[in-house]
Amino acid sequence: MDMVYLLLNIAVLLAIIGLLIWMQKKHFSFTKRVFTGLGAGIVLGALLQVIYGAGSDVLAETTEWYNIVGRGYINFLMMIVVPIVMVSIIQSIINLEKTAELGKMSVWIIGILIGTTMIAALVGIGTAVAFDLDAGQIEAGSAETERGTMLETRAAEDLSTPQKILNFIPSNIFLDMTGQRSTSVIAVVIFSIFVGVAVLGVRRKNPEQAEMFTKIINSLYAVVMRIVTLVLRLTPFGILALMANTVAGTDFAGIIELGKFVIASYVALFIMFIIHLVLVGVFGLNPMTYLRKVIPVLGFAFTSRSSAGTIPLNIQAQKNSLGVDQGIANMSASFGATMGQNGCAGIYPAMLAIMIAPTMGIDPLSPGFIIQLVLIVGVSSFGVAGVGGGATFAAIIVLSSMGMPVALAGLLISIEALIDMGRTALNVNGAMVSGTLTSRILKKFNLKTFNDKNAIEENVSL
What per-residue confidence (pLDDT) applies to 427?
A: 92
Instruction: With a cut of 90, say whether residue 193 has pLDDT above it.
Output: no
Among the listed ranges 199-203, 403-407, 422-426, which one has the minimum average pLDDT value?
403-407
Measured distance CA(62)–CA(248) in Å, rounded: 10
User: Whose CA is closest to 429, among 345, 343, 348?
Assistant: 343
Nearest to 338 by CA among 161, 188, 195: 188
C-alpha to C-alpha distance for 176 and 83, rounded to whole angstroms: 12
Helix boundaries (H) for 249-389: 252-257, 259-282, 287-304, 311-316, 326-336, 348-356, 367-380
pLDDT digits (tens, 9 = 90+) for 429-444: 999 999 999 999 999 8
Does 51 score more than 90 pLDDT? no
Identify the three-state secondary structure at position 382: strand
Q: Could you tell me the pLDDT band of residue 3, with boundaries at 50, 70 and 90?
A: confident
Look at 6-15, 23-32, 287-296 and tell me which has the smallest mean pLDDT. Answer: 23-32
Predicted pLDDT at 285: 93
Q: Which three-class secondary structure state does DSSP give residue 439?
A: helix
**Residue 379 or 49, more confident:** 49
Identity at 53, one-letter amino acid code: G
**What contacts 403, CB < 8 A, 6 or more positions away?**
none
156: pLDDT strictly greater than 50: no
Phi-psi region of 325 (alpha: psi -120 to 50; beta: other; left: phi over 0): beta
**3-class DSSP state for residue 40?**
helix
What does the pLDDT read at residue 153?
52
Highest mean pLDDT among 92-96, 179-183, 268-272: 268-272
Would you say 347 and 122 are in contact if contact means Cβ atoms under 8 Å apart?
A: no
- The confidence score (pLDDT) of residue 6 equals 87
At residue 16, the pLDDT reads 93
pLDDT at 74: 80
Residue 136: pLDDT above 80?
A: no
Phi, psi of 339, deg, nearest 5: -155, 155
Alpha helix segments (H runs only) across 26-99: 30-52, 57-94
- Helices 142-156 and 390-401: crossing angle, nearest 10°? 60
- Which pLDDT band, with edges at 50, 70 and 90, does 140 fall under? very low
Q: For residue 339, what are the β-bridge partners? A: 382
Angle formed at CA 341 by CA 93 and CA 147, multiple of 5 degrees: 135
More confident of the two residues 53 and 346: 346
At residue 408, the pLDDT reads: 64
Q: What is the pTM of this model?
A: 0.73
Who contacts 371 (Cβ-Cβ below 8 Å, separation ≥6)? none
Distance CA 383, CA 124 (A): 20
Assess whether pLDDT exceeds 80 at residue 244: yes
100 has pLDDT over 70: no
Q: Does residue 182 carry a pLDDT above 70?
A: no
Would you state the pLDDT for residue 435? 94
Q: How far apart are CA 461 and CA 117, in angstroms?
A: 31
Phi, psi of 240 (to 5 degrees): -55, -55
Directed axis angle between helix 57-94 and helix 184-205, to 10°? 20
What domains are defined for the chain? 2-460 (1.10.3860.10)
Q: How far apart are CA 303 and CA 41, in angstroms?
A: 10
What average pLDDT score do residues 250-259 get?
66
The predicted model gives 294-307 an average pLDDT of: 84
- pLDDT tens, residue by residue, 168-180: 788 888 888 877 7
Residue 224 has pLDDT above 70, yes or no: yes
CB 162 within 8 A of CB 383: no
Cα separation, 394 vs 373, whole angstroms: 13
Cα angle 422, 396, 254 (rounded to 5 degrees) comes to: 50
* Residue 346 DSSP code: I
pLDDT at 390: 63
Distance CA 129, CA 185 (A): 35
Q: How far is CA 416 from each of CA 1, 84, 278, 434, 442, rounded to the nearest angstrom?
A: 33, 30, 28, 26, 38
Q: Which residue has the higher pLDDT, 229 or 174?
A: 174
Name the packing angle between helices 287-304 and 259-282 (round to 10°).
Answer: 140
